[in-house]
Amino acid sequence: MRLLLVEDDDALRKTLTHALRGAGYGVDAVGDGRSADGALLCGHYAMVVLDLGLPDTDGMQLLQQLRQRGDRTPVLVLTARDSLDQRVLGLRQGADDYLTKPFALPELEARVAALIRRAGVGPARLSHGALEFDPLTRQAHIGGRALELSAREASLLDALMQRPGEAVIKSRLAHTLGDWGSELGHNAIEVYVHRLRRKLEPFGIRIRTLHGLGYLLEKPDAH
């Protein structure tokens, strides 16, 4: 699932890109209105995170143009202008939600997930026996109890749960778990598989190693 992030502050754009990628989204990040417009015209995004104060245009204007051409992509506006007037104006012009700077990253992630879910474009929750995983919020539960997972453990579980009982090849995991543009080493993948196993095995959920190939999540009734 791909998001467009429009933010002109370099440091903030990097931080937000990193956080959203860590939460499992593909992110295209741009720093001005012109690039944002170009990206929106050619790309298809699950949602847009839009800063209002941009160097070449006002984010609100960008939003207005987007809605005028009938594009209903959900938009989360980031703004330092926390006055009520701006919020009302923004919502009238088609923003779906607001976040006032400064904000905490988990708050941003929660709002993004909620907007995608509300728009009905998010992936379905996955379940595997007593284990449940929400690919959007990256939260896992077993028998209703929350399971603590790191970002990479969550990505690994996501990949395995997308295809239970089927092989997930190691090179695909290297790509999925790696940072943008770089792959994770195969030894590192083994470390994450080991950690995830330790969390799942007490509940009878097993990850089988297929030597030289990859891993598979055993079907709950496979033993």
* Site stretch for Ca ion (CB under 5 A), options 3-11, 92-100, 137-145, 173-181: 3-11
The CA distances from residue 106 to 2, 23, 62, 111, 113, in Å, are 18, 10, 26, 9, 10
- Considering only residues 184 to 213 of the shown chain, the ones binding Ca ion according to CB under 5 A are none
- Tell whether residue 178 is a contact of Ca ion (CB under 5 A): no
* Site stretch for Ca ion (CB under 5 A), options 2-10, 84-92, 114-122, 146-154: 2-10
Q: Closer to Ca ion by CB, 51 or 109: give it.
A: 51
Exactly one of 8, 32, 97, 183 binds Ca ion (CB under 5 A); which one?
Answer: 8
Q: Phi and psi (nearest 5°) for 78?
A: -105, 130
| Distance between CA atoms of residues 165 and 162, nearest Å | 10
Q: Are 50 and 71 within 8 A, CB to CB?
A: no
CB of 77 to Ca ion, least distance (A): 11
Pairing mode of beta strands 97-100, 126-128 = unpaired
How would you label 152-191 residue by residue, b for 16+ Cβ within 10 Å and e otherwise? bbbbbbbbbbeebeeebebeebbebbbeeeeebeeeebee
* Site stretch for Ca ion (CB under 5 A), options 1-9, 146-154, 162-170, 177-185: 1-9
CB atoms within 10 A of CB 14: 12
Q: Helical H runs in 99-150?
A: 105-118
CB of 39 to Ca ion, least distance (A): 17
Taking Cα atoms as reference points, which of 78, 36, 41, 88 lies closest to residue 57? 36
Q: Closer to Ca ion by CB, 62 or 168: give it.
A: 62
CB of 109 to Ca ion, least distance (A): 20
CB of 55 to Ca ion, least distance (A): 8
* Site stretch for Ca ion (CB under 5 A), options 45-53, 111-119, 158-166, 177-185: 45-53
CB of 37 to Ca ion, least distance (A): 16
CB of 87 to Ca ion, least distance (A): 17
For Ca ion, how many residues bind (rule: CB under 5 A)?
A: 3
| Distance between CA atoms of residues 20 and 3, nearest Å | 9
- Considering only residues 46 to 105 of the shown chain, the ones binding Ca ion according to CB under 5 A are 51, 53
**Binding interface with Ca ion (CB under 5 A):** 8, 51, 53
